[in-house]
Protein backbone atom coordinates (compact mmCIF):
# COMPACT_ATOMS: atom_id res chain seq x y z
CA UNK A 1 0.00 0.00 0.00
CA UNK A 2 1.43 3.37 -0.97
CA UNK A 3 1.35 6.37 1.35
CA UNK A 4 -0.20 9.53 -0.10
CA UNK A 5 0.77 13.04 0.90
CA UNK A 6 -1.88 15.02 2.77
CA UNK A 7 -2.47 17.18 -0.31
CA UNK A 8 -3.03 14.20 -2.57
CA UNK A 9 -5.27 12.57 0.04
CA UNK A 10 -7.34 15.74 0.42
CA UNK A 11 -7.65 16.14 -3.36
CA UNK A 12 -8.71 12.52 -3.63
CA UNK A 13 -11.34 13.00 -0.93
CA UNK A 14 -12.70 16.19 -2.52
CA UNK A 15 -12.87 14.48 -5.90
CA UNK A 16 -14.79 11.58 -4.34
CA UNK A 17 -17.31 13.91 -2.67
CA UNK A 18 -17.67 15.97 -5.87
CA UNK A 19 -18.48 12.76 -7.71
CA UNK A 20 -21.20 11.87 -5.20
CA UNK A 21 -22.74 15.29 -5.91
CA UNK A 22 -24.59 15.62 -2.61
CA UNK A 23 -24.63 14.51 0.98
CA UNK A 24 -27.70 12.33 0.33
CA UNK A 25 -25.87 8.97 0.23
CA UNK A 26 -24.17 9.78 3.54
CA UNK A 27 -27.48 10.90 5.10
CA UNK A 28 -29.07 7.57 4.13
CA UNK A 29 -26.85 5.90 6.71
CA UNK A 30 -28.88 7.56 9.48
CA UNK A 31 -32.08 5.98 8.17
CA UNK A 32 -30.64 2.57 9.05
CA UNK A 33 -29.14 3.20 12.48
CA UNK A 34 -31.60 1.93 15.09
CA UNK A 35 -32.67 4.50 17.66
CA UNK A 36 -30.65 7.37 16.13
CA UNK A 37 -32.40 10.57 15.06
CA UNK A 38 -30.37 12.83 12.72
CA UNK A 39 -30.82 16.55 11.99
CA UNK A 40 -29.18 19.47 10.14
CA UNK A 41 -29.70 23.13 11.08
CA UNK A 42 -28.59 26.43 9.56
CA UNK A 43 -27.01 29.41 11.41
CA UNK A 44 -30.46 30.52 12.60
CA UNK A 45 -31.18 27.09 14.14
CA UNK A 46 -33.75 26.35 11.43
CA UNK A 47 -34.15 22.72 10.39
CA UNK A 48 -32.53 22.07 7.02
CA UNK A 49 -32.83 18.30 7.01
CA UNK A 50 -33.64 15.32 9.19
CA UNK A 51 -33.96 11.58 9.20
CA UNK A 52 -37.46 10.25 8.69
CA UNK A 53 -37.50 8.99 12.29
CA UNK A 54 -36.89 12.53 13.55
CA UNK A 55 -39.45 14.40 11.47
CA UNK A 56 -42.06 11.73 12.15
CA UNK A 57 -41.34 11.91 15.91
CA UNK A 58 -41.95 15.65 15.71
CA UNK A 59 -45.27 15.12 13.94
CA UNK A 60 -44.29 16.01 10.37
CA UNK A 61 -45.34 13.95 7.36
CA UNK A 62 -42.19 14.73 5.36
CA UNK A 63 -38.77 16.32 5.63
CA UNK A 64 -39.97 19.18 3.43
CA UNK A 65 -42.68 19.96 5.99
CA UNK A 66 -40.10 20.60 8.70
CA UNK A 67 -37.49 22.52 6.65
CA UNK A 68 -37.32 26.07 7.98
CA UNK A 69 -38.98 25.20 11.28
CA UNK A 70 -37.24 25.74 14.61
CA UNK A 71 -37.34 23.90 17.91
CA UNK A 72 -39.94 26.45 19.05
CA UNK A 73 -42.35 24.93 16.52
CA UNK A 74 -42.14 21.53 18.25
CA UNK A 75 -41.18 21.99 21.91
CA UNK A 76 -42.23 24.13 24.89
CA UNK A 77 -40.30 27.42 24.95
CA UNK A 78 -38.20 26.51 28.00
CA UNK A 79 -36.90 23.36 26.28
CA UNK A 80 -36.45 25.04 22.88
CA UNK A 81 -34.46 27.84 24.59
CA UNK A 82 -31.90 25.27 25.76
CA UNK A 83 -31.64 23.60 22.35
CA UNK A 84 -31.12 26.92 20.56
CA UNK A 85 -28.63 28.12 23.20
CA UNK A 86 -26.58 24.94 22.61
CA UNK A 87 -26.88 25.37 18.81
CA UNK A 88 -25.59 28.92 18.97
CA UNK A 89 -22.71 27.94 21.28
CA UNK A 90 -21.60 25.20 18.87
CA UNK A 91 -21.78 27.59 15.91
CA UNK A 92 -20.10 30.47 17.76
CA UNK A 93 -17.16 28.43 19.07
CA UNK A 94 -16.94 25.83 16.29
CA UNK A 95 -16.63 23.21 19.06
CA UNK A 96 -18.77 20.09 19.18
CA UNK A 97 -21.20 19.31 21.96
CA UNK A 98 -20.96 15.58 22.67
CA UNK A 99 -23.49 13.44 24.54
CA UNK A 100 -25.50 16.18 26.25
CA UNK A 101 -28.33 14.79 28.40
CA UNK A 102 -31.55 16.54 27.35
CA UNK A 103 -35.29 16.16 27.44
CA UNK A 104 -36.87 15.13 24.11
CA UNK A 105 -40.05 13.39 22.92
CA UNK A 106 -40.37 9.62 23.33
CA UNK A 107 -42.61 7.36 21.22
CA UNK A 108 -45.73 8.53 23.07
CA UNK A 109 -44.71 12.20 22.56
CA UNK A 110 -44.04 12.52 26.27
CA UNK A 111 -40.88 14.29 27.39
CA UNK A 112 -38.14 11.85 28.40
CA UNK A 113 -34.32 11.75 28.77
CA UNK A 114 -32.22 11.51 25.61
CA UNK A 115 -28.57 12.08 24.64
CA UNK A 116 -27.75 14.71 21.99
CA UNK A 117 -24.56 15.32 20.02
CA UNK A 118 -24.08 18.47 17.89
CA UNK A 119 -21.22 19.15 15.47
CA UNK A 120 -20.51 22.32 13.48
CA UNK A 121 -21.04 22.22 9.71
CA UNK A 122 -18.52 24.25 7.73
CA UNK A 123 -18.58 25.61 4.19
CA UNK A 124 -15.71 25.23 1.72
CA UNK A 125 -14.01 28.29 3.28
CA UNK A 126 -14.06 26.65 6.71
CA UNK A 127 -16.72 29.00 8.10
CA UNK A 128 -19.39 27.51 10.37
CA UNK A 129 -22.72 27.67 8.51
CA UNK A 130 -24.82 25.43 10.71
CA UNK A 131 -24.72 22.21 12.63
CA UNK A 132 -25.62 18.55 12.39
CA UNK A 133 -26.55 16.31 15.21
CA UNK A 134 -27.98 13.11 16.56
CA UNK A 135 -30.41 12.29 19.34
CA UNK A 136 -30.43 8.86 21.02
CA UNK A 137 -32.46 7.24 23.78
CA UNK A 138 -30.80 7.10 27.17
CA UNK A 139 -31.06 3.28 27.27
CA UNK A 140 -28.71 3.02 24.29
CA UNK A 141 -26.27 5.43 25.87
CA UNK A 142 -26.28 3.74 29.26
CA UNK A 143 -25.50 0.42 27.60
CA UNK A 144 -22.40 2.04 26.10
CA UNK A 145 -21.22 4.28 28.95
CA UNK A 146 -22.43 2.34 31.96
CA UNK A 147 -25.37 3.14 34.21
CA UNK A 148 -23.38 4.58 37.12
CA UNK A 149 -21.76 7.32 34.97
CA UNK A 150 -25.04 8.24 33.29
CA UNK A 151 -26.89 8.26 36.62
CA UNK A 152 -24.55 10.98 37.86
CA UNK A 153 -25.15 13.04 34.69
CA UNK A 154 -28.91 12.54 34.77
CA UNK A 155 -29.14 13.30 38.48
CA UNK A 156 -27.17 16.50 37.92
CA UNK A 157 -29.40 17.50 35.00
CA UNK A 158 -32.52 16.50 36.92
CA UNK A 159 -31.33 18.51 39.90
CA UNK A 160 -30.87 21.57 37.66
CA UNK A 161 -34.34 21.07 36.17
CA UNK A 162 -35.92 20.81 39.62
CA UNK A 163 -33.99 23.83 40.81
CA UNK A 164 -35.26 25.81 37.80
CA UNK A 165 -38.81 24.66 38.52
CA UNK A 166 -38.71 25.69 42.17
CA UNK A 167 -37.11 29.06 41.35
CA UNK A 168 -39.71 29.89 38.71
CA UNK A 169 -43.02 28.27 39.65
CA UNK A 170 -45.46 28.87 42.48
CA UNK A 171 -46.09 25.40 43.96
CA UNK A 172 -49.63 26.38 45.05
CA UNK A 173 -50.85 27.27 41.58
CA UNK A 174 -48.32 25.59 39.23
CA UNK A 175 -48.09 28.89 37.35
CA UNK A 176 -44.81 30.66 36.74
CA UNK A 177 -44.32 33.45 39.29
CA UNK A 178 -44.18 35.93 36.41
CA UNK A 179 -47.80 35.10 35.50
CA UNK A 180 -49.20 36.15 38.88
CA UNK A 181 -50.71 39.61 38.98
CA UNK A 182 -49.39 42.06 41.52
CA UNK A 183 -51.79 43.01 44.29
Half-sphere exposure of 155 (CA within 13 A, CB side): 6
Least confident of 41-45, 125-129, 158-162: 158-162
Give residue-wise pLDDT tens across range 30-50: 787 888 999 999 999 999 989
pTM over 0.75: no
Phi, psi (rounded to 5 degrees) for 43: -60, -25
Give residue-wise pLDDT tens across range 85-109: 999 999 999 999 999 988 888 888 7
Q: With residue 119 as reference, give the H or E element that holds it.
A: strand 111-122
pLDDT, position 154: 47
Measure the CA–CA gap between 40 and 56, rounded to whole angstroms. 15
pLDDT, position 35: 86
Beta strands 128-137; 111-122: pairing state? antiparallel
> Considering the domain 16-138 in this protein, what is its CATH number?
3.30.450.20
pLDDT, position 153: 47
- Stretch 67-71: mean pLDDT, rounded? 94
Measure the CA–CA gap between 168 and 56, rounded to whole angstroms. 32
Give residue-wise pLDDT tens across range 164-181: 544 554 444 444 434 444
Residue 19 CB neighbour total at 10 angstroms: 7
pLDDT, position 77: 93
- Stretch 118-129: mean pLDDT, rounded? 91
Amino acid sequence: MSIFSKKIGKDLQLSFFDEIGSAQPLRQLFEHLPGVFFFLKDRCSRMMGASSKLYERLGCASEEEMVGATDYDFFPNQIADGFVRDDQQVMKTGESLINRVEIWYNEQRLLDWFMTTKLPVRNVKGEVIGLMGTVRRMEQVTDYYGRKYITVIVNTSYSRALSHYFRNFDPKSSKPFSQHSSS
